[in-house]
Structure 1
């Protein structure tokens, strides 16, 4: 048995999830009545996600903000600005795409009897009340807006703390991220139960909604990678952006696609920045920071899946609320964990904006894991390659202002 477990863990998570999906479909089609016990695995998986998500958001964001330092002869302010513009743009594009191509999901029980918000005033009132919630109460009730607020405030207050205190926060963040990895390792079994339950309850037609959802998600990500990011680069450096974009996609995005972790791709990105001849004092900070806060792909995932839940439940959304979702998706994306599936754990934060209960939001998270075989890989590829693109863009922009020559077409792009 131990040997079998070792062999199983050596298989990539993507392949294991595919096996879980296939197993769930086969059991649902062949022996739905005899295998109804399989649904418990899906319930346990969703329960584990609900348990770890609040504490993950608190420590991850608090640790990241506490480590921020004033830039010394670097381009950090420009890079952070570019990170913010890119993530906000991604959230906006995802919202627009979700309205043009609305997707409905097959959710389980608990979606009945919802009272949608009456308008933007009610949404803002709920938002403000959640912001000032007691931190312990926010953790207990999974109030992600309150958790995020307290994480930001505590992070800012701890910027002047001792290095040992900050290292303790880092250790807690790493430990919680390890817990997330353990939970996500259970995804194949959990997804098998979720797929089985969805097909038994709704038939094979339930998978069609996942296909439409995946098309919207990947379409937004490809549009950002090949249109929006190059446009941002061009506006800043006034040069053809595609040599830089394609090199980042080739040398960063491909590895990130398979590792499915922005954190794991940090060494790859730093090596690429060195090849590009960038300032080490800048990229040694911007690349690890970008792995935490530069999350265009996560903003797309959060926005699209949240609005899929909104459309499924028939909740009306006005223009003002959609704009708030863009900002909220960008802010919550900055707290996404740098491990596989990290952004999915932040969907309840955005869902709470529309009054969607945490139980239903976590069902949407589970749907995200089903499509995550491709969604999470593409999301990580977009996030990680963007870190290099905008770090280089900030330096190229400074060179252009200083009247220095920019050469982004050379093989190693030495400046």
Structure 2
């Protein structure tokens, strides 16, 4: 048994995850009733990630800032700029695609019990209130804006602490990082359970009536992942961006696709940044921040579903309103929560731009939950993998300006040795 486990662990994590996906699909198709117990693995995996992520962020950021030396530069400003460019570009791409391939919806479904934001002011107010949230509540509710705020403040306060205090903080941070590695090592079993649950519970029949809508949504996300993001990376580092893009898609997007939570994927992204040998002071802040504000996939969802409702109701759209929707969807997307379906509740906010009643907008939200089997998975995969891509891009650009070599073609084994 020990030899079997050792050989299993020697296989790359991506290959093990693919094996788990295949087994989950086969079991869901062949014996869905007899294998229902497998879903517990998916729930345990997501639960473990969500449990460890807030503590990981708090300790990593506190440790990094407390040990930060004056004059030592980080790339946070550059990363935030890249996040903003990507999200705004996503809004433009989604609006343009919906004009080229207009979509109509069959409304009439119900979305009772859901409470959308009342306006952009409410979204901003929520973000500000999250900043001053009680630290215990922030940890319990996985409020990463609040966690980051307290981590930064405590880190700054501890900059003048004794070396022994800082060492103890670093030891706790390293211990949590080790727990994260153990959890991620269970990803193949967890994702097997998630895949089984998704197919056994929903199947693909629920998606057949929304083929065109899904084609536009997923087409936009693929275009951003494979064209827009690489262009942004190339402009920044002047090197072939696809080795970095494909690595992030392979090692971050796959787990994010099945967990459907940017917050739950934070430990996975932290581990990938470590393998890429990025600056820990930077990625310990940029990754949890990206899980909150880097939402290009959410901008696509908001724009496409809003314009689908507009087309269904035969509401005319002029160029100025379309441009405003691009900006509104990008700004609203930053207020989307990093959990499954978080972007859908912002659709009524964008719909109000066209005078669409809240009752109809909530029916569009219900349609979003129907196609969310694929839409939300792809959205999260795009959002989460982009966090790593832009964190790495900012550091690579800094290295290029300093005349240092940028090695983004390195193999997994080489990266692990460097890390």
- Fold shared by both chains (TM-score > 0.5): yes
- Once the two structures are TM-superposed, the CA of residue 84 in structure 1 deviates from its matched residue by 0.5
Distance 1:401 1:309 in 2: 47
Deviations 1:200-224 (A, max 9, x none): xxxxxx954x110000001001100
Matched, 1:148 2:123: yes
Distance 1:366 1:239, change over 3 A: same
CA contact (8 A) 2:256 2:384 kept: yes
SS state at 1:316 partner: coil
Distance 1:263 1:141, change over 3 A: closer
Equivalent residue, structure 2, for 1:27: none
- Once the two structures are TM-superposed, the CA of residue 317 in structure 1 deviates from its matched residue by 1.1
Distance 1:212 1:74, change over 3 A: same
Equivalent residue, structure 1, for 2:315: 315
Deviations 1:217-264 (A, max 9, x none): 010011001000000000000000001001111111111111111111
SS state at 2:252 partner: helix
Distance 1:276 1:78 in 2: 18
- Once the two structures are TM-superposed, the CA of residue 353 in structure 1 deviates from its matched residue by 1.5
Distance 2:383 2:134 in 1: 29
Equivalent residue, structure 2, for 1:10: 40
SS state at 1:342 partner: coil
Equivalent residue, structure 1, for 2:85: 85
TM-score, normalization by structure 2:
0.65
Distance 1:351 1:264 in 2: 29
Deviations 1:163-193 (A, max 9, x none): x834434545559xxxxxxxxxxx99x999x
**Aligned ranges 1:253-402 → 2 under 5 Å:** 253-402=253-402
Distance 1:405 1:140, change over 3 A: closer
- Once the two structures are TM-superposed, the CA of residue 12 in structure 1 deviates from its matched residue by 6.2
- Once the two structures are TM-superposed, the CA of residue 151 in structure 1 deviates from its matched residue by 2.4
Equivalent residue, structure 2, for 1:18: none
Equivalent residue, structure 1, for 2:137: 168
Distance 1:167 1:143, change over 3 A: same
CA contact (8 A) 2:236 2:393 kept: yes
- Once the two structures are TM-superposed, the CA of residue 150 in structure 1 deviates from its matched residue by 2.0
- Once the two structures are TM-superposed, the CA of residue 340 in structure 1 deviates from its matched residue by 1.5
Distance 1:346 1:173, change over 3 A: farther
CA contact (8 A) 2:295 2:336 kept: yes
Distance 1:90 1:167 in 2: 35
Distance 1:216 1:292 in 2: 25
Deviations 1:126-150 (A, max 9, x none): xxxxxxxxxxxxx999513231132
CA contact (8 A) 2:105 2:309 kept: yes
Equivalent residue, structure 2, for 1:221: 221
Distance 1:400 1:109 in 2: 53
Distance 2:355 2:326 in 1: 17
- Once the two structures are TM-superposed, the CA of residue 357 in structure 1 deviates from its matched residue by 1.6
CA contact (8 A) 1:234 1:240 kept: yes
Q: Which ranges of structure 1 fall in alignment gaps of 5 or more residues? A: 14-66, 111-138, 159-163, 176-186, 196-205
CA contact (8 A) 1:191 1:366 kept: no
Distance 1:274 1:8 in 2: 31
Q: Number of residues paired by the alignment? A: 305
Distance 2:409 2:252 in 1: 17
Q: Which ranges of structure 2 fall in alignment gaps of 5 or more residues? A: 1-32, 44-60, 145-197
CA contact (8 A) 2:298 2:343 kept: yes
- Once the two structures are TM-superposed, the CA of residue 410 in structure 1 deviates from its matched residue by 1.3
Distance 1:319 1:229, change over 3 A: same
- Once the two structures are TM-superposed, the CA of residue 155 in structure 1 deviates from its matched residue by 5.4
- Once the two structures are TM-superposed, the CA of residue 347 in structure 1 deviates from its matched residue by 1.2
Distance 1:357 1:172 in 2: 31
Runs (4+) off by over 3 Å: 6-13, 67-72, 139-142, 152-156, 164-175, 412-415
Deviations 1:261-292 (A, max 9, x none): 11111111100100100000100111111111
Distance 1:219 1:270, change over 3 A: same
